[in-house]
A and B are shown apart, each in its own frame.
Chain A
């Protein structure tokens, strides 16, 4: 690629065009932010494009209301704990399982591997009722142990991605370590994990995006008497109390997407690598 292209008129025109498209691309998010600063009755169907004026501007009142009224911080905490615990668990367990599957490669391992691939194509609606029921019977219905369900349902993709990568690791390194007297666990933690690190990061990112944004699984599985994740809370905003508090809903949307966007700006490189790696394997 010749990076130092001359500033041809054509390229300048394209840059301008892309800049405009980028602005359009960001606009939806910007629009939510401006509406979250408006008083409820000014958020009308046709009036969503108006900037807050002195009479409609109410500062952060919507944010306060969404945090107090809907207990949004608790939802935030639940979403956070579910995402962190599930992703950590999936990374640890599935990378171990993938290594075992590739290296042992007996009948059981093969069956497990093909089941994992199979599970990737099964739509969630196929298992939604029975999964919710199984989780309920095993009491895996709190934010603190729902990660087991996520491990089970997310194992397919993770095992598939990890085993693809493990296959490319030359066997010699591990055999040398074994001759030195390392146990499989030592080999795994000292040799495999460091080599797998890039794949772990990519997979972790894909899974984080999935779990953080997941709506239907927690809705059906979690004990709704006590717990509500952010997507559930936002959906509940729409219908609860026979009314729709648009302002507070906009504010919650902002609270939901700000952490992801910040995380994205920080780990952009990994995220994009993760997408590429995931796509090449998937």
Chain B
């Protein structure tokens, strides 16, 4: 009934968003796919070259390296962030004094943007490394990698912590009481009751950390800028670098093709995630 009456109001309700969506997403997306099959510098002269760009993705080994680096980075950061956030969430649901202050503090870095985060941490980490007599972030792939991990942990633990706290607060105290009466230790309660009950939170956080890690760009460009010699480039930065920083008409098409591959990988991750979420929810 409502539907029928509302239908003819589409110019007011949906047209503005839809038009902007066409401009801001649909058209650029379709055009982007098309351009990945073309050689171009500006849109003034575009030459269709078929699958050449896709073949040339591996022309320099930066893409393969960035891919591996991204995968490694995503896995390590996701595991660490989730683990630490979960521990903090457990501590903050014990009714300790100052819980609210701790929560406020841990969440705070989330509000700071990637570029700024990068520079904040570059100052500190380079300071520490230089005092320790270690190679600076720009000099060592290993230090750059762990630098980005530390940065991302600092930024995202608070966010994930909030989601875990919400999940833990939803666990009914009755279950825990019952378990205690049955003589379960704290650890058993945690593994047997709390973890299964907050499975949805765990799935959400895993998904968020995976995509955030895989798509990370700003923090990468400001913290290490891909140094040394592009060794700390994550995929997103590698694509940007290929697209904008390399001169010569062949590179833009290759960059666009890399972006399509990147997009497909993200879609696959999301689909796996979706499937995983659904099956887990049925169990719970």
Establish whether residues B23 and A140, one from each chain, have CB atoms under 8 Å apart when the complex forms.
Answer: yes
Q: Is B55 an interface residue (CB 8 A)?
A: no
Establish whether residues B123 and A260, one from each chain, have CB atoms under 8 Å apart when the complex forms.
Answer: no
Q: Is A64 an interface residue (CB 8 A)?
A: no
Contact size class for A? 35 or more
Residues of B within 8 A of A261 (CB): 108, 111
Q: Is B83 an interface residue (CB 8 A)?
A: no
Q: Is A256 an interface residue (CB 8 A)?
A: yes
Q: Is B252 an interface residue (CB 8 A)?
A: yes
Q: Is B175 an interface residue (CB 8 A)?
A: no
Residues of B within 8 A of A106 (CB): 3, 7
Min CB gap B11→A, angstroms: 11
A149 to B124, CA, bound (A): 36
Please judge, given known A-B contacts A212-B113, A215-B218, whether A178 and B5 are in contact too, CB under 8 Å.
Answer: yes
Establish whether residues A130 and B31, one from each chain, have CB atoms under 8 Å apart when the complex forms.
Answer: yes
Interfacial residues of chain B within 218-255, with CB under 8 A of chain A in the complex: 218, 221-222, 236, 239-240, 243, 252, 255
A263 to B110, CA, bound (A): 13
**For residue A5, which residue of chain B has the nearest CB?**
B95
Establish whether residues A129 and B123, one from each chain, have CB atoms under 8 Å apart when the complex forms.
Answer: no
Residues of B within 8 A of A125 (CB): 217, 236, 239-240, 243, 259, 262
A183 to B8, CA, bound (A): 11
Residues of A within 8 A of B1 (CB): 175, 178
A188 to B215, CA, bound (A): 36
Interfacial residues of chain A within 234-253, with CB under 8 A of chain B in the complex: 234-235, 238, 249-250, 253
Establish whether residues B266 and A46, one from each chain, have CB atoms under 8 Å apart when the complex forms.
Answer: no
Q: Which among A7, A103, A150, A271 is the interface contact of B3 at CB below 8 angstroms? A: A103
Q: B57-65, B71-79, B97-105: which lies at the A interface? A: B97-105
Establish whether residues B14 and A100, one from each chain, have CB atoms under 8 Å apart when the complex forms.
Answer: yes
A171 to B154, CA, bound (A): 44
Q: Is B22 an interface residue (CB 8 A)?
A: yes
Interfacial residues of chain A within 1-47, with CB under 8 A of chain B in the complex: 1-5, 7, 11, 14-15, 18-19, 22, 25-29, 31-32, 35, 45-47
Q: Is A82 an interface residue (CB 8 A)?
A: no
Min CB gap B267→A, angstroms: 6
Please judge, given known A-B contacts A138-B23, A209-B110, whether A93 and B16 are in contact too, CB under 8 Å.
Answer: yes
Q: Is A56 an interface residue (CB 8 A)?
A: no
Please judge, given known A-B contacts A126-B259, A152-B25, A185-B9, whether A28 and B154 are in contact too, CB under 8 Å.
Answer: yes
Please judge, given known A-B contacts A15-B97, A96-B12, whether A121 and B270 are in contact too, CB under 8 Å.
Answer: yes
A64 to B106, CA, bound (A): 31
A249 to B122, CA, bound (A): 13
Q: Which among A3, A112, A121 is the interface contact of B14 at CB below 8 angstroms? A: A112
Establish whether residues A123 and B17, one from each chain, have CB atoms under 8 Å apart when the complex forms.
Answer: no
Establish whether residues B32 and A127, one from each chain, have CB atoms under 8 Å apart when the complex forms.
Answer: yes
Q: Mark contacts of B137-172 with chain A using CB atoms, 8 A cut-off: 1 yes-contact digit, 0 otherwise.
A: 000000000000000001000010011001001000
Residues of A within 8 A of B12 (CB): 96, 185
Establish whether residues B112 and A257, one from each chain, have CB atoms under 8 Å apart when the complex forms.
Answer: yes
Q: Is B284 an interface residue (CB 8 A)?
A: no
Establish whether residues A268 and B104, one from each chain, have CB atoms under 8 Å apart when the complex forms.
Answer: yes
Min CB gap A155→B, angstroms: 5
Q: Which among A26, A47, A48 is the interface contact of B124 at CB below 8 angstroms? A: A48
Establish whether residues A1 and B2, one from each chain, have CB atoms under 8 Å apart when the complex forms.
Answer: no
Q: Is B48 an interface residue (CB 8 A)?
A: no
Establish whether residues A28 and B120, one from each chain, have CB atoms under 8 Å apart when the complex forms.
Answer: yes
Q: Which among B91, B119, B240 is the interface contact of A249 at CB below 8 angstroms? A: B119
Please judge, given known A-B contacts A22-B101, A234-B119, A235-B222, whether A209 and B111 are in contact too, CB under 8 Å.
Answer: yes
Q: Is A214 an interface residue (CB 8 A)?
A: yes
Residues of A within 8 A of B189 (CB): none
A265 to B111, CA, bound (A): 11
Q: Is B199 an interface residue (CB 8 A)?
A: no
Q: Which among B2, B17, B115, B116 is the interface contact of A184 at CB below 8 angstroms? A: B2
Q: Which among B113, B116, B120, B243 is the interface contact of A129 at CB below 8 angstroms? A: B243
Establish whether residues B243 and A187, one from each chain, have CB atoms under 8 Å apart when the complex forms.
Answer: no
Chain B interface residues toward A at CB < 8 A: 1-3, 5-7, 9-10, 12-14, 16-18, 20-29, 31-32, 35, 43, 91-98, 101-116, 119-121, 123-124, 126-127, 130-131, 136, 154, 159, 162-163, 166, 169, 173, 200-201, 204-205, 208, 211, 215, 217-218, 221-222, 236, 239-240, 243, 252, 255-256, 259-260, 262-263, 266-267, 270
**What are 13 inter-chain pairs, A to B, with CB distance below 8 A?**
A1-B173, A100-B9, A109-B14, A122-B266, A124-B236, A128-B259, A130-B31, A133-B43, A151-B20, A178-B1, A188-B13, A272-B162, A279-B166
Given contacts A93-B16, A126-B259, A279-B163, 5 further A-B contacts (CB under 8 A): A26-B105, A104-B3, A119-B21, A156-B25, A275-B162
